[in-house]
Structure 1
Amino acid sequence: MSVRGRWGRTDRPDRVSDACPAEATSTSASKEMGQTKEKPHDGQPDADDALLERFRAHLLYERGLSPATVRAYMGDLKLLAQYSRETGITLLALARSNVRRLMAQRIEQGAHPHSVARMLAAWGTFFRYLMQVGLRPDNPLEGQRAPKRPKKLPQVLYAEELEMLFKKEQMTPKDVRDLAIVELMYATGMRVGELTRLTFDRLDLTRDVIVVRGKGGRERIVFFGAYAKDILLRYLREVRPRWMQKRTDHPYVFVSMRGTPLTTRSVHRIVRALSQEAGLSVRTSPHTFRHSFATHLLDGGADIRSVQELLGHVNLSTTQIYTHVSTSRLKEQYRAFHPRA
Structure 2
Amino acid sequence: MKKKISEDLRSFMEYLQIEKNYSQYTIECYRRDIEHFYMFMAEQGIASIRDCQYVDARLYLTLLYEKQYARNSVSRKISSLRSFYTFLLREAAIEKNPFSSISQPRKSLKLPTFFYEDEMERLFNSCQSDSALDKRNRALLEILYATGIRVSECANIRLDDVDFEFSTILIRGKGRKERYVLFGAFAEEALQTYLQEGRLHLVDKQHDHPLLFVNFRGAPLTPRGIRYVLNEMMKKASLHGKMHPHMLRHTFATHLLNNGADMRTVQELLGHSHLSSTQIYTHVTKEHLRKTYLNHHPRG
- Name the structure 2 match of 1:120: 78
Partner of 1:75: 32
Gaps of 5+ in 2: 295-300
Letter of the 2:265 counterpart: S
1:254 aligns with 2:213: yes
In percent, how many aligned pairs have the same letter? 36
Aligned to 1:288: 247
Q: 1:138 corresponds to which residue? A: 96
2:139 maps to 180
Q: CA deviation at 1:85?
A: 4.5
Give the CA deviation at 1:307: 1.9
Match of 1:320? Answer: 279
Q: Which has the higher helix share?
A: 2
RMSD (Å), alpha carbons: 3.1
Q: Which residue does the alignment assign to 1:16?
A: none
Distance 1:282 1:62 in 2: 41
In the alignment of these two chains, the number of paired residues is 292
CA contact (8 A) 2:147 2:182 kept: yes
**By how many angstroms is 1:296 displaced?**
0.7
| Residues 56-205 of structure 1 mapped to structure 2, 5 A cutoff | 56-89=13-46, 90-167=48-125, 168-170=127-129, 173-205=132-164
TM-score (norm 2): 0.81
Corresponding residue SS for 1:230: helix
Q: Return the letter of the residue paired with 2:53.
A: A
**1:79–1:333: structure 2 CA closer, same or farther, 3 Å change rule?**
farther
What is the CA-CA distance between 1:158 and the residue it aligns to?
Answer: 0.3
Seen in structure 2, the aligned counterparts of structure 1 residues 140 and 54 have a Cα distance that, compared at 3 Å, is: same
Give the letter aligned to residue 66 of structure 1. Answer: S
SS of aligned partner of 2:246 = helix
Seen in structure 2, the aligned counterparts of structure 1 residues 183 and 122 have a Cα distance that, compared at 3 Å, is: farther
The separation in 2 between residues aligned to 1:253 and 1:172, in whole angstroms, is: 17
User: Residues of 2 paired with 1:86 and 1:277: CA distance?
Assistant: 53
Q: How far is the alpha carbon of 1:277 from its aligned partner? A: 4.1
Q: For structure 1, list consecutive stretches of 5 or more residues without a partner in the other structure.
A: 1-43, 336-341
Given that residues 156 and 295 in structure 1 are in contact (C-alpha distance below 8 angstroms), is that contact kept between their aligned partners in structure 2? yes
What are the Cα deviations for residues 250-299 of structure 1, in whole angstroms up to 9, with x where unaligned?
Answer: 43323445555444344344434433443323553221111111111121
Determine the C-alpha separation between the residues in 2 that align with 1:97 and 1:172.
Answer: 65
Instruction: Report the Cα distance in structure 2 between the residues aligned to 1:208 and 1:52, rounded to whole angstroms.
Output: 44
**Offset of residue 224 of structure 1:** 1.0
Assess if the C-alpha contact under 8 Å between 1:185 and 1:286 holds in 2: no
- The verdict on how the C-alpha distance between 1:125 and 1:306 changes in structure 2, with shifts beyond 3 A counting, is same
- Give how far 1:135 is off: 1.7
SS in 2 for 1:286: coil
CA, structure 1 residues 200+51, in 2 after alignment: closer, same or farther (shift >3 Å)? farther
Deviations 1:153-197 (A, max 9, x none): 321210111122222243654444344333211100112332233
* Offset from partner CA, 1:95-128 (integer Å, 9 cap, x none): 3333333333333333222222222222222121
Q: From the superposition, tell whether residues 88 and 193 of structure 1 become closer, same or farther in structure 2 (CA, over 3 Å).
A: farther
TM-score of the superposed pair, with normalisation by structure 1: 0.72
Query: Alignment partner for residue 170 of structure 2, among 203, 211, 223?
Result: 211
Amino acid paired to 1:230: E
Contact 1:185 1:195 (C-alpha < 8 Å) held by counterparts: yes
The amino acid of 1:233's aligned partner reads Q
Distance 1:223 1:137, change over 3 A: same
Deviation at 1:332, TM superposition (A): 9.1
Q: 1:178 to 1:116 in 2, by over 3 A?
A: farther
Specify which of 240, 260, 263 is matched with residue 301 of structure 1: 260
Within-5 A mapping of 1:38-49 = 44-49=1-6
